[in-house]
Amino acid sequence: MDIKTLCLGVLSLGEASGYEIKKFFEDGFSHFYVAGFGSIYPALAELTREGHVTCCDIAQEKRPAKKVYHITPSGAALFRRELAQAHPVHRVRSDFLLQMIFAAFMPPSRLDEVLALRLEDIRAELGHIELCNRRQDIPPSAHFALGYAQAVLQAGLDYIEGNRGVLSVTPPNKDAP
């Protein structure tokens, strides 16, 4: 699923501008998909050229004009075809886990820092998801996706808290030796 398909997906839920498409993913789905303006705007331009979406310039008071995109029947058909074909890939690219493999080459204080940073990130993402779960403008199945992300993040959090002990080669000295 490339970014063009993703734009078609969001637009099949309703009209939106490029800016709003980015926000759609940022607010809650950022855990499993991130896209920048540098990808979204060119994708929308191409989809327009291909006739899969149409575009209306909307002037606004007290803020910049925006371009609102609508999906066309050809776009909707393309999106369904894409959904029917795509293999459900789920790719993880974790510098964190890579760092853990090589934990022995880090000073203990740095190891603590890395774990703290990861826990912080997980907690932030969990908070994000909780907020997003209250949204009414997303399809019911999106809550399934959010629940999945939540379950997986929580499992990671619990794992770190329960097993960080195995990383410290030198356990905190019990008492006077």
The C-alpha angle with vertex 170 and arms to 164 and 172, in degrees rounded to 5, equals 80
Phi, psi of 152 (to 5 degrees): -70, -40
Which partner in DNA, its own copies, none is near 156 (CB below 5 to 8 A by kind)? its own copies
Q: Give dist(CA 126, CA 19) in Å, integer.
A: 24
Among 9, 15, 32, 39, binds DNA (CB under 7 A): 39
Please report where in the chains the tokens 């908070």 appear, as a residue. 127
34 lines the binding site for DNA (CB under 7 A): yes
Beta-carbon contacts of residue 156 (< 8 Å; ≥ 6 apart)? 122
Please report where in the chains the tokens 């959010």 appear, as a residue. 146
Which partner in its own copies, DNA, none is near 176 (CB below 5 to 8 A by kind)? none
User: In the complex, which residues of this chain contact its own copies (CB under 8 A)?
Assistant: 1, 6, 9, 12, 29, 31-34, 79-80, 83-84, 86-107, 110, 114, 117-118, 121, 138-145, 147-149, 151-152, 154-156, 158-160, 163, 166-167, 169
User: In the complex, which residues of this chain contact DNA (CB under 7 A)?
Assistant: 2-3, 17-20, 23, 34-39, 41-42, 44-45, 60, 62-67
